[in-house]
Structure 1
Amino acid sequence: MPAHAPARPLEIAAAGPLRGTVRVPGDKSISHRSLMFGALAIGRTTVDGLLEGEDVLATAAAMRAMGARIDRGDDGRWTIDGVGVGGLMQPEQALDMGNSGTSTRLLMGLLASHRLTATFVGDASLSKRPMGRVIEPLSAMGAEFTASPGGRLPLTMRGLVPAVPIEYTLPVASAQVKSAILLAGLNTPGITTVIEPVPTRDHSERMLAGFGAELTVEPSPAGRVIRIRGEAELKPQSIVVPGDPSSAAFWLVAASIVPGSDVTVLNVGMNPTRSGIVTALRLMGADIEALAEREVGGEPVADLRVRHAPLSGIEVPPDLAPSMIDEYPVLFVAAAFASGRTIARGAEELRVKESDRIAAMAAALSAIGARVEEVEDGMIIDGTGGDPLAGGATITTHLDHRIAMSLSVAAQHCRAPVTLDDAAPVATSYPGFFSTLDALAGVALK
């Protein structure tokens, strides 16, 4: 199993208001899919604004290992020369997914209908994450898996050609599972159908259609019915990746909780299946203004200006969960500084992310003085009414980038510095996070 990099402890102290304009990294979900779909197209796909974090680079390395040519130009534009659906080659060695659950699950789907054998390995955090929810439908399509106990990595799979088209109803709201089945369906004869009782992020559907796949989405009493016709021919595209709303969320919360703050986040993806954090913060009273709303590459985009405002506790609508599941940790931070009680439930999916994010955030917020109660599917938080928290603790981040960044945001309104036991995992999704924090707040980094 690949070794994790040495721990990099980091002390973070509040430094007053956050002010300025920032551009967040490209959307991680769209970046992963740009590389995968480009590798399956025949011809050259170009991508501007690709997130160059470790997770996405793991996807690029895997696609290269299976025959696609992927290069980064000096201007930051990426080019992908694809091999066509069904054209992936047998990788010569194990595919190292690092910390990326998205890469792993989507690639398992992609390879399920290719005649090759692949072994997936990952870091200590990824190796704890369950893959059974993907293994089950892909096995029904004919793929064979040999996994570590509990359906975890390291894992070896053997694809089947021709694979068997299935109709599958998602038992949990998961864009990764949905996407894995649709990707398997690309090289499967006939129609593969996914029924989604609760809508999840729809980047795969939008992008597959853009690349020329024959795909339909229809409402039904059972939920969204997504059908894809196999043996597809994908056409190369020119893609501009919008800013990642999950990365923007940290600045939306930080500016909301620190008095005197005024931050504009440029080019944020506002896909309604991803923008639940904006809805939730506005329900709490956040001052978030959407400017220059536009569409880029089939995705809605806006610049978001956020100014400090007093927040109030709310009962977070559970139906927002799929559209903000990765943003719950930083939403918990916002709730810790609100007036009154916030009840955030319906987020049991957080238990099986890079860490158990409910337990990890409950422990971290308690350590810096917040009043929280952990429940099975979320958290109940009694906020400070805008007052700072004590801080002064060392936080166990569990190799989880979102825990590290969420506590860095909380530290902006703490009386004493907060120390992260390891800041290194932040590079998986937001390599420039700490330099951006420094620029906005002049924060003390040691």
Structure 2
Amino acid sequence: MKPINVLSIIIVAALLSACSESKIEDSAQLGPNPELPEAERGLLPTLKIADPAGWGDRRPIVPSGYNITAIATDLQIPRQTLVLPNGDILVAEGRGGNAAKLRPKDVIAGYFKSKGTTSVESGDRLTLLRDGDNDGTYETRNVFAENLNAPYGLALIGDQLYVANQDAVVQFDYQPGQTEASGPPRQLTALPSEVNHHWTKAMTASPDGRLLYVGIGSNSNIAENGLNVEENRAMIWEIDAKSGTHRPYATGLRNPTAMDVLPGTNQLWAVINERDELGPRLVPDYLTSVQDGAFYGWPYSYWGQHVDSRVKPQQPDMVAAAVAPDYSLGSHKAPLGLAFSTATMGGKFTEGAFIGEHGSWNRSDPAGYDVVFVPFSNGKPAGDPVDFVTGFQSEDGKTFGRPVGVTIDPKGALIVADDLSNTIWRVTPTQ
């Protein structure tokens, strides 16, 4: 087979992308009942490349009454953070995945995606940040653990620190005040890692500390490589934190990238990256409560019973059982962070969920590249999302940062990991 002329394909893709854009407004796709257009399938997916640029004198934009500062820079691809009981912040740094590009579409998408990411080498480590005098400046920075395998999810249960690498959940002994691990990690349970199209392994703990929940993304867009490579994937595992035994908790979730438990409840919530190549307004990424034993449609359907005709053979019984998500975030926004608010955040940001949206590639009008707040009432989303941290991308396409994980610290600050500029941002109320 002759080598693929990537540049020629990209030029064609850009021309085709400009030919067809859904007329549905983004606002019509937000909330519990998003407007869903007809699928738009073409030779090549709709594409728009992020154009990385340095922050310079800029910084992200936050609402009036809040400040934002960079508390760590020059990291090695920060993804998720964990605030420890003494206020230290652990940062998981790294990049994983080893999926082969089997189709021309894969080559094109891979080229575009790579141009919108950092060129920094994967850290494969945990870095600890400490603000010793509580003045908001994190003056101490240590490598807590290194030689990990694309760490992503983090959880602390008592004196055990759990890390979800791309191939296994591992654990370290932890005592408050530690600045580095006291020994190598111990494996709790292996995770599916063959091919690893979606490599991130999100993780959170149950409120009682008995269980870990780990999100495992699919090995493809819509099972185009066969269901045999999807075994134990596109689901959330429930793992016993002591024994490592596990079971599928919920399935049909294409790529669960962040999870949190709603405060005052035992209810698990997650953000999901949905499928591509059905057009710029399909399929909406979403925030949803995760029900034990539920099936959420992937790959056979989306948003409940909307059939994806690309998947063969079709499975009507599976489609009929598919649960519709709770809340649409809009199409191709790539949510990668989720943290429920606390009263210390203040104002209209007291009750709800902060969501880090990494940003789109499968549409010509960019979407995401921000942190939004979804208000909650009575344990459910209640209203449109509110911009909380913006300014990661300018109108001319220059992209200064891409938010990933979000975390609330005990003082009421929002911690935001930015894996394009390799920065940790901290947002605090001014009063």
TM-score, structure 1 as length reference: 0.27
TM-score, structure 2 as length reference: 0.27
